[in-house]
Amino acid sequence: MAIDPAVLAAVESQLGARAVLSLAPDLKLYEYDGGVDKSQPELVVFPRATEDVVALVKLARKYNLPIVGRGAGTGLSGGAIARAGGMMISFARMNRILEIDIPNERAVVQPGVVNLDISLAVQPFGYFYAPDPSSQKACTIGGNVAENAGGPHTLAHGVTTNHVVSLEAVLPDGTVMECGGREPDLAGYDMVGLLTGSEGTMALVTKIGVRLMRRPEAIKTLLAIYNSTDEAGNTVGELTARGIVPVALEMLDGPMLRMVEAATHAGYPLDAAAVLLIEVEGLIEEVEEQVDAIGTVCRACGAREVKAARSAEERELLWKGRKNAFGAIGRVSPTYYVQDGVVPRTQIARTLRAIGEIGNKHDIAISNVFHAGDGNMHPILPFDPRKPGDLERAQKAGEEILDFCISVGGSITGEHGVGMEKMELMQHLFPDETLELMKRFKALFDPQCALNPGKVLPTGKGCLEIRQRPEVEV
């Protein structure tokens, strides 16, 4: 759908023509994210400051355009897709670190700042930013806030919401709100917590205050090798039962570790059924005690070998393999569908068996790489988009996996968000009364359903039917 010339003229007057995309070939680059769904916006705009966002929101309101905020587009649930067309506000040019306050262990950044760039900026002071999604070299803090992103090292440190201390955001009527602050525990309602993870459906975040952490004195990385996924899965529950909390506890099954090893040569054993990548940090003496305790538990649960990285280079290589896992899959299947269910740690082994059974049922060779420490499963379902029905088969299998996660006391997402991918599954997870309350929160911030329509809440509870363009397929 072509954008109204009056809208285009007004936006170009505000930002300049070089900050606006409206031609079909350009818009096609913004019709997808890291997931499998697609829908094209009517124009994409690139503000540089909060004042620009306010002006854009007011223009969208004047012309009754839906608005979608977008970071780097690395999300995996369709959260940054313009499902109802309209205006996409890309924060790629709002990418400045505004303040670094080491004495108070804080930084203030714009939403387009790349996650890893915060840690690189404060590294000379001996600090880092803890949430580290696998896409941290590309994903942006604004997107992390929208999805409440996690990562391997959030097992001990927590996810994004645990590290965001303040927000500046623009509401759908152009009002600029500020919440949170430098203080560790402000009075009043936790508005920062409410907006973090709201997936761009309540406000457009334009400034973020984050908590910085001091780098530990010592870090040790272990690789525990298993001949069965059950033994690896059971180890996670046993570590928890003994009160041992590493900063990271990742699992790769046999098919996945072989793909990773072929791509990165990280040192993963090709004949293993599974490995656990475990990291501990802290004071030197404390780390050595934890390493010994973890090794004892792993061996007691059936690990055939527990190896410690002997150098910083070896540690980096092991993590390179884990963080490049999704890219390594491309050597086997150029297209795949990633799921994001959560189960209690004690149900990991059982869930892996169920995933295998679901894969066999649908004739899909599913592999697994995931945050075992917090039960956040990431089954990978390859498909061929050239084969009619192949994607739908993978999506059906993915839905069955999520239903199983719910059945054992889990959830439908741990860090990727609900987006448009899982919104109908919200009815499997929450009663109508809870969904109705969520709808009321959405309406409080966005009564006209301008922000990211067709996300999070299921059809009938959300506002897709209000904002959906009839020519856009869903």
Q: What is the pLDDT of residue 186?
A: 84
C-alpha 247/C-alpha 281 separation (Å) is: 7
Q: What is the pLDDT of residue 461?
A: 76
Q: How far apart are the first and last CA of the chain?
A: 15
Report pLDDT digits (tens) over 397-406.
Answer: 999 999 999 9
Report pLDDT digits (tens) over 279-300.
Answer: 999 999 999 999 999 999 999 9
- How many other C-beta atoms can be found within 10 angstroms of the C-beta atom of residue 230? 18
DSSP string, 107-154: EEE-TTSBHHHHHHHHGGGTEE-----TTTTT-BHHHHHHHT---TTH
Q: What is the pLDDT of residue 464?
A: 60
Helix 390-407 × helix 348-361 angle, to 10°: 150
Contact 341, 414 (CB under 8 A): yes
Q: What is the pLDDT of residue 96?
A: 98
Q: What is the mean pLDDT of residues 67-87?
A: 97
Domain ranges of the chain: 5-90, 97-214, 218-327, 333-417, 424-467
Contact 235, 227 (CB under 8 A): no
Architecture of domain 5-90: 2-Layer Sandwich (3.30)
What kind of fold does domain 333-417 have according to CATH? Alpha-Beta Plaits (3.30.70)
Q: What is the mean pLDDT of residues 258-272?
A: 95
Helix 254-264 × helix 312-323 angle, to 10°: 120
Entry pTM: 0.94
C-alpha 180/C-alpha 210 separation (Å) is: 11
Q: What is the pLDDT of residue 381?
A: 97
Computed over every residue of the chain, the mean pLDDT equals: 95
Architecture of domain 218-327: 2-Layer Sandwich (3.30)
Element (H, E) at 306: strand 305-308
C-alpha 317/C-alpha 411 separation (Å) is: 32
Report pLDDT digits (tens) over 226-257.
Answer: 999 999 999 999 999 999 999 999 999 999 99
Sheet strand arrangement including 336-338: 305-308, 218-226, 274-282, 248-253, 367-370, 379-382, 336-338
Q: Which of 147-151, 268-272, 460-464 has the lowest mean pLDDT?
A: 460-464
pLDDT band, residue 473 (cuts 50/70/90): very low
Mapped onto helix, strand or coil, the DSSP state of residue 361 is: helix
Element (H, E) at 208: strand 204-211
Do the domains spanning 97-214 and 333-417 agree at the CATH topology level? no
Q: What is the pLDDT of residue 380?
A: 97
Q: Is the pLDDT of residue 261 over 70?
A: yes
Q: Is the pLDDT of residue 467 over 70?
A: no
Contact 324, 316 (CB under 8 A): no
Secondary structure tally for the chain: helices H, strands E: 17, 20
Q: What is the pLDDT of residue 7?
A: 95
Report pLDDT digits (tens) over 152-186.
Answer: 998 999 999 999 999 999 999 999 999 999 887 78
Report pLDDT digits (tens) over 405-449.
Answer: 999 999 999 999 999 999 999 999 999 999 999 999 999 999 999
Architecture of domain 97-214: 2-Layer Sandwich (3.30)
Q: Give which of 137, 201, 121 is closest to 169, Cα–Cα.
A: 201
DSSP string, 412-432: S-SSS--TTTSGGGHHHHS-H
